[in-house]
Structure 1
Amino acid sequence: MDTGVDNGGAIKSRLIDDEDDVVEGFEDFKGLRAVRSKTGLWKSASFIIGVEVAEKFAYNGVSSNLITYLTGPLGQSTASAAASVNAWTGTLSLLPLLGAFVSDSFLGRYRTIIISVLVYILSLGLLSLSASLNSDCKVGANTSDCAPPQLKLVAFYLSLYLAAFGAGGMRPCIQAFGADQFDGDNVNESKLKSSFFNWLYFAMSSGSLLALLILNYIQDNLSWELGFGIPCIVMFAVLLLYLLGSPTYRFRLHTDAKNPFSRVGRVFLNAAIPHRGCSAFVAADAEQPITNEGDIRDAKALLGLLPIWFTSLGFAVVFSQGTTLFTKQGQTMDREIFLGLKIPAATMQSLSFFTIIFIIPVYDWVLVPAARSLTGRPAGISMLQRIGAGLFMSLLSMVIAALIETKRLAVAAEWGLVDEAGATLPMSVWWLAPQYVLFGLANVFAIVGLQEFFYDQVPSDLKSIGLALYLSIIGIGDFLSSFLIALLESITSRAELDSWFDNNMNRAHVDYFYWLLVGISAIVMLAYAFIAKSYVYRERDLVRC
């Protein structure tokens, strides 16, 4: 890894008394062979995890309340605001593929993270500045009677999409660079690497929860400038900490250090184009063939991930309901906690994060050691078994959600409130707690399992790209969910019966949609089980304790 330090042709290796203390395939910040006792592990990973916490804090600080800002200070209609949010989140979810390619081909993960964080800081600063520009639009205002200054709109959208580019570079690289601090070929460090993905998701959830509890309140009750400005300050502070940890990091050596872009390109070329032999493609200006057995093997490994990727899309469609339809259910229910204090329907999402924060320590400290003693695997159970458990829990959450929605509709009918769109039903919002808790459990198993799987099972030169593939599952799932809802809305609104997604939730039939997702999830699980059973892991996953 070329960190920019000029060693003046200095010797790139050192004499080490214990050769086992060298981590093969890695170097340190000075370009010397990475020493196990001085680099990597939790002392390094903690700096990197801090960047991920800050990114989740910043992202949720913007996204969770974005529709309120669009319909308030920017004076957009609800439909326009929803379209803007979907376009932004969809773009952000696919940009990690670009960021990962740039990282693995040109800059490396360390530099890509630095550049991406700087872009993120710039975007948040610009977002805070745009919020300070005067606007006559308020929440609930008639959008035809108010219009924000053109400069405010330009600055806002520029900053918003700059943030998307920053996140696109950070997300796959942070997770991959953090996992690089643990040697998967070492039995002890392999155990720690599996724990890293657990605690990474724990930290991510903590950052998201803090944003929901703190930034949303500041934005709604104090000022948008402060609500956008605080994440900017946090990101800057975390960048300094990340740079402070540089001397402790391990940097993965590229297989083709002189031309990593050529190496990555060859693997993708072999994955995309059929060939008949190891010398199918020959460079015009070189004697050596572009492809070799290693490239072909890695291309096959990359293609082997696609069936898992496709069958995980069903989980991603279910995953997208937690921030949309679940919230719509809660808005119609009794949200009073005590003495007239009501909680926002969206606050129920925090139950999933609380579940994640509670379960991950139990999983890592209790369940994994127990399973490890039975299976001999460093992670206790295999990555695909963990993902499969998450898929089952997501299916179960949809079953519970459908049953609760059926009961909610029955309560509306019983009390004669079917035609009262704005009425609060005599049914506590805590009825939704089980589906949110199951959602959190599903994430602990499926999301963390997918992160580890797409990192571990890709070729060493494509770790960032592997994690970008995992991130794209969630993004494509959002698009598929939107498409499915739009299609069903078009079909059911033409029939004599009420639309499944009627604006009046008491006349809608979201329960039918949930049962449809149950059916889709069941089919996907059967396909997943068949594919997972025949999947052959890379040798590294078969390390025994």
Structure 2
Amino acid sequence: MENPTNETEAKQIQLNGEKKPKGGIITMPFIIANEAFEKVASYGLLPNMIMYLIRDYRFGVAKGTNVLFMWSAATNFTPLLGAFLSDSYLGRFLTIAIASLSSFLGMVLLWLTAMLPQVKPSPCDPTAAGNHCGSATASQLALLYTAFALISIGSGGIRPCSLAFGADQLDNKENPKNERVLESFFGWYYASSAVAVLIAFTGIVYIQEHLGWRIGFGVPAVLMLIAALLFVLAFPLYVRRNVSKSLFIGLAQVVVAAYVKRKLSLPNQQDSSLTYYHMKDSELKAPSHKLRF
């Protein structure tokens, strides 16, 4: 045998006191659980949210629909920003960690709107004679919209980075079964995402309808806390790649430089030839107007 087995290598590494390699299949449960719990928590809030806005915040159907439409649009747009920040500045691990915290804080704020009567309009029966039910104040709406914004930011950081971050843990070119391991990870990832959405649209909705908003919003907050803790606890096991310069940043720099230098005067043709082709010790030849030199 030219090469020792994996078990022999692992034992030799331990005997020599060297650090074990990071990444690998051991990190997969933490990454997949983080994504799955986030989907259960966030997707479970959406189906019944229109009823919560109408009954507790006294939104009209049109206004409530517009608010939820804007929330969904923000949730679908923020992954673009999350991917950009992850690739250019923060890295995938830090992006997912911050996003998990943001999503958890948003769900806690939303849970507080159901727990504390002071942060939403007081109960009122609009069908009773002489009752004039007031609408939500600016501060109450600000708290509600802040919760929505934090949840959208969390989704924007987790969803575009989880799959790529998981692939980073398994990307081992020296392993002959690398492609098979990656395919298995992708299969489990998408399967868990589908199951998470199914649980969100059934289990979370059932809890909200039968146990009320307090428990219905509290369960997603607890799930998001578990997701964040599971992901962060595996910090020593992760492979964390360095960020690279984004192509979009380079393109933006070119556009800015072109705009700043738009009024610079260009040299004439003779000066251009002297400048670019006949500098001292230059081996370049001046271009010709003919087809041959």
Fold shared per TM-score above 0.5:
yes
Task: Work out whether 1:147 is the aligned partner of 2:134.
Answer: yes
Q: Give CA-to-partner distance per residue, 1:411-438, whole Å, 9 cap, x none.
A: xxxxxxxxxxxxxxxxxxxxxxxxxxxx
Q: Give CA-to-partner distance per residue, 1:62-87, whole Å, 9 cap, x none.
A: 11221121222111121211111111
The 3 A distance-change label for structure 1 pair 270 and 76 is: closer
CA contact (8 A) 1:74 1:147 kept: no
Secondary structure (helix, strand or coil) at the match of 1:72 reads helix
Q: CA deviation at 1:145?
A: 4.7
Q: CA deviation at 1:243?
A: 2.1
- What letter matches 1:55 in structure 2? E
CA contact (8 A) 2:57 2:135 kept: yes
Q: CA deviation at 1:225?
A: 2.0
* Runs of 5+ unmatched residues, structure 1: 1-16, 22-32, 255-259, 274-545
- What letter matches 2:123 in structure 1? D
CA contact (8 A) 1:72 1:139 kept: no
Q: CA deviation at 1:253?
A: 4.0
Select which of 160, 172, 176 maps to 2:148: 160
Q: CA deviation at 1:128?
A: 0.6
2: distance between equivalents of 1:266 and 1:88? 26
The 3 A distance-change label for structure 1 pair 244 and 138 is: farther
Select which of 49, 52, 67 maps to 2:35: 52
Runs of 4+ in structure 1 off by over 4 angstroms are: 137-141, 265-268, 270-273
Task: Work out whether 1:180 is the aligned partner of 2:172.
Answer: no
Matches within 5 A, 1:204-353: 204-254=193-243, 260=244, 263-265=245-247, 269=251
* Runs of 5+ unmatched residues, structure 2: 8-17, 256-293
Q: CA deviation at 1:187?
A: 4.1
Matches within 5 A, 1:494-509: none
TM-score normalised by length of structure 1: 0.39
Q: CA deviation at 1:92?
A: 1.0
CA contact (8 A) 2:37 2:223 kept: yes
- What letter matches 1:61 in structure 2? G
2: distance between equivalents of 1:137 and 1:114? 41
Matches within 5 A, 1:414-493: none
1: distance between equivalents of 2:150 and 2:49? 15
- What letter matches 2:166 in structure 1? G
Aligned residues: 234
The 3 A distance-change label for structure 1 pair 80 and 138 is: farther
Q: CA deviation at 1:236?
A: 1.4
Higher relative contact order (CA 8 A, sep 6+): 2
2: distance between equivalents of 1:55 and 1:196? 18
1: distance between equivalents of 2:127 and 2:70? 23
CA contact (8 A) 1:60 1:208 kept: yes
Q: Which residue of 2 aligns with 1:169?
A: 157
The 3 A distance-change label for structure 1 pair 102 and 73 is: same
Q: How much is the aligned-residue C-alpha RMSD, in angstroms?
A: 3.1
CA contact (8 A) 1:62 1:228 kept: yes
- What letter matches 1:115 in structure 2? I
Q: Give CA-to-partner distance per residue, 1:231-277, whole Å, 9 cap, x none.
A: 111221222222222222222344xxxxx3xx21467519997xxxx
Q: Give CA-to-partner distance per residue, 1:496-536, whole Å, 9 cap, x none.
A: xxxxxxxxxxxxxxxxxxxxxxxxxxxxxxxxxxxxxxxxx
The 3 A distance-change label for structure 1 pair 117 and 46 is: same
CA contact (8 A) 2:126 2:132 kept: no
2: distance between equivalents of 1:154 and 1:68? 19
The 3 A distance-change label for structure 1 pair 74 and 177 is: same
1: distance between equivalents of 2:127 and 2:19? 59
CA contact (8 A) 2:126 2:133 kept: no
Give me the identity figure in percent.
Answer: 35
Secondary structure (helix, strand or coil) at the match of 1:128 reads helix
1: distance between equivalents of 2:150 and 2:127? 28
Task: Work out whether 1:123 is the aligned partner of 2:106.
Answer: yes
The 3 A distance-change label for structure 1 pair 60 and 139 is: farther
Q: CA deviation at 1:133?
A: 3.5
2: distance between equivalents of 1:44 and 1:101? 24
Rg larger in 1 or in 2?
2
Select which of 193, 199, 210 maps to 2:182: 193
